[in-house]
Structure 1
Amino acid sequence: MTSAPDGSASYRSMRDCLDRIEDTVPGKLEITKEGIVHDMMAPGRPHELTAGLVSRRLEKALPDGVWAHVGTPDVEDEPEGIMRHPDVMVIAVEDMQGEGSFDPRTVIAAVEVVSRSNPDNDWVGKVRDYPLIGIPVYAVFDPRTGTGAVMSDIHPTPEGPRYATRKDFVYGEDVTIGEWTISSEGLPRYAEASD
């Protein structure tokens, strides 16, 4: 009988596996407290347009030296065993310098656009994982329903750090993410048949 690897060894094995296969499989791969999450479908146009619009609106409100970054790399906390890829990261330019994944504790806010194919990843998994890795503000935009939420105020619980505050919104309302308020007017919704 073999023993299970410790958390760090298990995480490193999953990370090495992802490094080998990520260019050969469709969709997006992330490592969570529950294991590897594979969102099979590549994001569709409404998803990407929402991420782009939110990023541009945030950019107009942010001070010099802070970006609403869309793209790579991931945020990674090896001791927690978590590697995630936010759709938009509010982060200081100086914290983007260097090599490798971003330190999640330098991310000012993470924004996710809910995937039609795997909504629990954004509404459940990331609500659990982002406070664990120290991301102080998490905003979710859901094109399926035209609603969303902003979560903040990390506090300790028996299950680990969690967000204490949740402010729900409906598309069309102003949304405050951290210190900055943007409009959610005109964000696209998913059509019945496609993402």
Structure 2
Amino acid sequence: MRNFVLSLDDTLPGKFEITKEGTVHDPRAPVAPHELTTLRQRRCLERVMPEDVVAHAGVPDVEDAIQGVMRHPDIIVIREPDMEGDGSFDPRTLIAAIEVVSRSNPDNDWVGKMRDYPLLGVPVYAVFDPRTGTGAVLSEIHSTPDGPRYATRKDFVYGEDVTIAEWTIPTDALPRYP
């Protein structure tokens, strides 16, 4: 599945990911509010984080081959030394994964990634939803009969400060989808 998804990256528009449920394809390129939200979050985080921790937006993906899951967070919070090497990032090295909800496929962020990130061992998952001006920060992975899940969820509305891992950032300058 991984080789198939990687072979499509340069041939079809959009983003492909491998989940526990199969393949996800978001055919649309991110819109301006999505990209602006990502940029502003990265800048706010990097102002408050130590120098060896980065808020990275870009490639490569985050993958656990044993679980058969390959995801592409909008932003990952990771120590710079953990970015060294070839191939996908090890999800167990992430401090947090941050997603800006896609207008074209919101369930990917609110359902699929909420299921897959604890499975991958990502300790904190933050979701920002420009459709509604709300979001949530999920943490504290625990076991359930359906697999690992986040035990703690802190909802927020745009305009409130939000804490991701150990860093607090404002949300008042985040755009909404028209």
Give the TM-score normalised by the residue count of structure 2: 0.99
Letter aligned with residue 148 of structure 1? G
Question: How large is the Cα RMSD of the aligned pairs?
Answer: 0.5
1:20 aligned counterpart, secondary structure: helix
Name the CA distance, whole Å, in 1 between partners of 2:57 and 2:125: 15
The letter for the 1-side match of 2:120 is I
Residue identity matched to 1:159: D
Q: 1:143-182 alignment to 2 at 5 Å?
A: 143-182=130-169
After superposing on structure 2, the runs of 4+ consecutive aligned residues of structure 1 that deviate more than 3 Å are none
SS state at 1:68 partner: strand
Alignment of 1:63-102 (within 5 A): 63-102=50-89
Matches of 2:6 and 2:73, distance apart in 1: 18
The percentage of aligned residue pairs carrying the same residue is 70
Amino acid of the residue matched to residue 125 of structure 1? Answer: G
Superposed displacement of residue 33, structure 1: 0.3
* Aligned counterpart, 1:8: none
Q: Tell me, which stretches of 5 or more residues in structure 1 are unaligned?
A: 1-13
Q: Which runs of 5+ in 2 are unaligned?
A: none
Q: How do residues 20-99 of structure 1 correspond to structure 2 at under 5 angstroms?
A: 20-99=7-86
Distance (Å, rounded) in 2 between the aligned partners of 1:124 and 1:62 = 28
Measured in 2, the distance between the counterparts of 1:27 and 1:189 equals: 21
Q: Count residues with an aligned counterpart.
A: 178
CA distance in 1, matches of 2:96, 2:150: 13
Specify the code of the residue in structure 1 equivalent to 2:55. A
Output the amino acid matched with 1:109: A
Post-superposition shift, 1:19? Answer: 1.8
Deviations 1:46-83 (A, max 9, x none): 00000110011000110110000111100000111100
Q: Which has the larger radius of gyration?
A: 1
Q: Distance in 2 between matches of 1:105 and 1:43?
A: 27
Distance 1:164 1:20 in 2: 36
1:130 corresponds to? 117
Out of 105, 116, 120, the residue aligned to residue 103 of structure 2 is: 116
